[in-house]
Amino acid sequence: MTGWRGLFRLAWRRDRVMIGVCLVLVWLLSYYSAAAMPTLYSSTSELVAANEAGNASTGVVAMYGHVYDTMSVGGVGANKLAMIDFLVLAFLVIAVVRRHTRGEEESGRFELLGATPVGRLAPLGAAVLLAVLTSVVSGVVTIPALVAGSFPVAGSILFGLAQVGVGLAFTGLTAIAVQVSSSYRACGAWIFGALGASFVVRMIGDVSWDRPARVLSWFSPLGWAQQVRYYDGDRPWPLVIPVVFFAVTLGIAGWLQGRRDLGAGLLPDRVGRPHGRIGTPLGLAWRLQRPAFIGWLVMYVLMGVVFGSIIDTIGGLMSGPAADLLTKLGGVGGFNDIYLTLVASMGTLAVAAYGVSAVMRIRSEESEGHLESVLATPVTRGRFLASHLVVAYVGSVVLMASIGLAMAASHRSGSSGFWREALPALAHLPAAWVMIALAAGAAAWLPRFDWLGWALLGGVVAVGELGAIMGLPDWVLKISPFAHTPKVPVEAMSWPPEIILTAITVALLAVAYVGYRRRGMPVA
């Protein structure tokens, strides 16, 4: 462990902003969520009704867990908050441990440090120490934030300690993953896979809370934390599990560290294909973007299923007066329509981000030096540009279609018609297309300012979400293409804005093409 102090200071110096920002966000979120609870439910009966509605919805239980005591002050709200806090902390400690071990080795930077008197276990020790401190500080400071927000003290202490436990468990798991995996990227796949698995395992366990399969909740670090039942029975003993788990995993990781080479894992890099099938620029673009696209697709299908299955219970979550108002406005059917419209517009904003990131691949291929080899073949610039545009545009349609279809398919009872609920997801696509085309234009004409694509999208999102609250003039709000697409099914379908936005997209892409053909390459 010689030299761990220096490595720890280096790790802290590099990560303090990331850790600080994440923790402050967690604390603010915890405080405001806890503070909002008393204003949401004015009476115990409303609280019980809300908790029962949550328990009745498979989607809510699957995402956030089951509420055992429907009188629980925290209830569904605390479960939601807990899941977000836990996941943020898990991502944070995974990033910290992975970065300062395999990340440093793979970048070659560790060779500089390794030549100084630094012990074999020092890098792992320093990274784990930083992750443990992050977990402890995150959990312990969450306690006063929750209490200040109105939650009971005993439950808040358990909540905070459960959060520490999640951090410890994933620190230990990551410490093993960095020993075993063949590369930094493979390590990410292992550990995020483990995080996903622990979410899914507890999801199945929680959904089966009244059946024998509930035992599955005990096979997941996220499940251990939930089983502390903060505000919901308050039982401290499961807090021991992550501590023991951390000690065991760390011991294994330390033992493994002594048995592997610098920069290599215990599992060898898998041997790949000696021959490839890629033969077109589109084939290459798809191959490069496939993993990210599949991630988006899985997420969109899952979101569609969850949103579809909770449509009818959302109405039940609302307190009396609001529900009355909604019924006056158009009944439960009216509420469902608002919900569908909301999912479609939010989903399309996210899809615009997918499209911009897909288009930006033309820039990263260029700056990473891959483009030269491709353009030295008979592939023209136009074909190269088009290949990534196809991935962006076709991908955007597939993603929105998948969320629409999944949502309509999982909303069976009380559905107002399959296609009526599936198709609105596509309504805002032309607005997203304009944003993607703007990003392509920036990449083509202003390669050094290619972040403009992201900046424009960020501006549009900010204006769309906050513009009305900030009291911006109408014409500013109207700049966003998302302000023009019809909000089906709340509003009737209207074709002119869709056609005009599509025409603008085509024109912008033509401009991008002209710019892309005439500029020098590669720009770093």
Partner 1 sequence: MTTVISTQGLTKSFGRTQALAGLDLSVEQGEVHGFLGPNGAGKTTTIRILLGLLKADGGTASLLGQDPWTDTETLHRRIAYVPGDVSLWPNLTGGEVIDMLGRLRGDLDPARQAALLERFELDPTKKCRSYSKGNRQKVALVAALASRAELFLLDEPTSGLDPLMEAAFSEVARELKTAGCTILLSSHILSEVEKLSDRISIIRAGVIVESATLDQMRAMHTTAVTAGVRGPVVGLDALPGVTGLVHEGNQVSFSVDADHLGAAITVLSAAGVDSLTSEPASLEQLFLSQYESGVR
Q: Which stretch binds partner 1 (CB under 8 A): 66-74, 436-444, 471-479, 515-523?
A: 515-523
Q: Which is nearest to 66 in space by CA: 206, 162, 200?
A: 206
Q: Write the burial class of residue 167 (CB in 10 Å: 0-12 exposed, 13-18 middle, 19+ buried).
A: buried
Site for partner 1 in 132-151 (CB under 8 A): none
What SS3 state is found at 280? coil
Angle between helices 281-317 and 381-410 (to 10 degrees): 30
Find the binding residues for partner 1 in span 284-303 (CB under 8 A): 284, 287-288
Q: Pick from 6, 316, 497, 522: which binds partner 1 (CB under 8 A)?
A: 522
**Shortest CA distance to 73 belongs to which of 39, 33, 44, 32?**
44
Report d(CA 197, CA 18) in Å as an integer. 25
Q: Which two tokens stand for residue 4?
A: 């761990």
Closer residue to partner 1 (CB): 196 or 291? 291
The answer to whether 275 contacts partner 1 (rule: CB under 8 A) is yes
Q: How far is the CB of 365 from partner 1 (least distance, A)?
A: 9
Residue 233 vs 263, nearer CB to partner 1: 263
Q: Which is nearer to partner 1, 285 or 438 (CB)?
A: 285
Is residue 518 involved in binding partner 1 (CB under 8 A)?
yes
Instruction: Tell me which of 137, 148, 326, 375 binds partner 1, using CB under 8 A.
Output: 375
Does residue 372 interact with partner 1 by CB under 8 A? yes
* 42 part of the interface to partner 1, by CB under 8 A: no
CB of residue 271 to partner 1, shortest distance in Å? 5
The residue among 204 and 379 lying less far from partner 1, judged by its C-beta, is: 379
Long-range CB pairs of 247-253 (<8 Å, 24+ gap) are 247/172, 248/172, 249/169, 249/172, 249/173, 249/175, 249/176, 250/128, 250/171, 250/172, 250/175, 252/176, 253/124, 253/128, 253/172, 253/175, 253/176, 253/178, 253/179
Q: Does 211 bind partner 1 (CB under 8 A)?
A: no
Cβ nearer to partner 1, comparing 193 with 458: 193
Residue 279, interface with partner 1 (CB under 8 A)? yes
- Under the criterion CB under 8 A, does residue 2 sit at the interface with partner 1? no
Q: In 3D, which of 265, 266, 96, 257 has the Cα closest to residue 174?
A: 96
In the complex, minimum distance from the CB of residue 378 to partner 1, in angstroms, rounded to a whole number: 4
Omega of the bond leading into 486 within 30 degrees of 0 (cis): no
Residue 513, φ and ψ in degrees, nearest 5: -60, -45
**Residue 324 engages partner 1 in binding (rule: CB under 8 A):** no
- Closer CB to partner 1, 18 or 379, in the complex: 379
The SS3 call for residue 24 is: helix
Taking CB under 8 A as the criterion, the residue among 2, 42, 280, 329 binding partner 1 is 280
Place of tokens 């050094």: 448
Instruction: Figure out which of the listed residues 377, 474, 492, 495 binds partner 1, where binding follows CB under 8 A.
Output: 377
Residue 42 vs 280, nearer CB to partner 1: 280
- Our finding on whether 374 is near partner 1 (CB under 8 A) is yes
Q: How far is the CB of 456 from partner 1 (least distance, A)?
A: 26
**Residue 372 Cβ, how far from partner 1 at the closest point, in Å?**
5
CA nearest to 391, candidates 516, 266, 522, 281: 281
Cα separation, 484 vs 118, in Å, equals: 61
User: Does the footprint of partner 1 cover residue 108 (CB under 8 A)?
Assistant: no
Using CB under 8 A, which of the segments 204-212, 337-345, 376-384, 468-476 binds partner 1? 376-384
φ/ψ of 488, rounded to 5, equals -75, 145
Stretch that binds partner 1, among 112-120, 273-281, 391-399, 507-515 (CB under 8 A): 273-281
Residue in 111, 269, 324, 465 binding partner 1, rule: CB under 8 A: 269
Find the binding residues for partner 1 in span 341-370 (CB under 8 A): 368-370
Q: Is 473 in the site for partner 1 (CB under 8 A)?
A: no
Q: What is the 3-state secondary structure (H, E, C) of 160-198?
A: HHHHHHHHHHHHHHHHHHHHHCCCHHHHHHHHHHHHHHH
> Which one, 482 or 516, has the nearer CB to partner 1?
516
Does 380 sit near partner 1 (CB under 8 A)?
yes
- Render 396-441 in DSSP notation, one character per residue: HHHHHHHHHHHHHHH--TT-S-HHHHHGGGGTTHHHHHHHHHHHHH
**Stretch of 96-104, 214-222, 270-278, 348-356 contacting partner 1, by CB under 8 A:** 270-278
CB of 402 to partner 1, least distance (A): 25
State yes or no: residue 107 binds partner 1 (CB under 8 A). no
SS3 of 251, please? helix
Query: How many other CB atoms are found less than 10 A from the CB of residue 356?
Result: 23
Number of residues that bind partner 1 (CB under 8 A): 34
Contact footprint for partner 1 (CB under 8 A): 183, 185, 269, 271-281, 283-284, 287-288, 368-370, 372-380, 518, 520-522
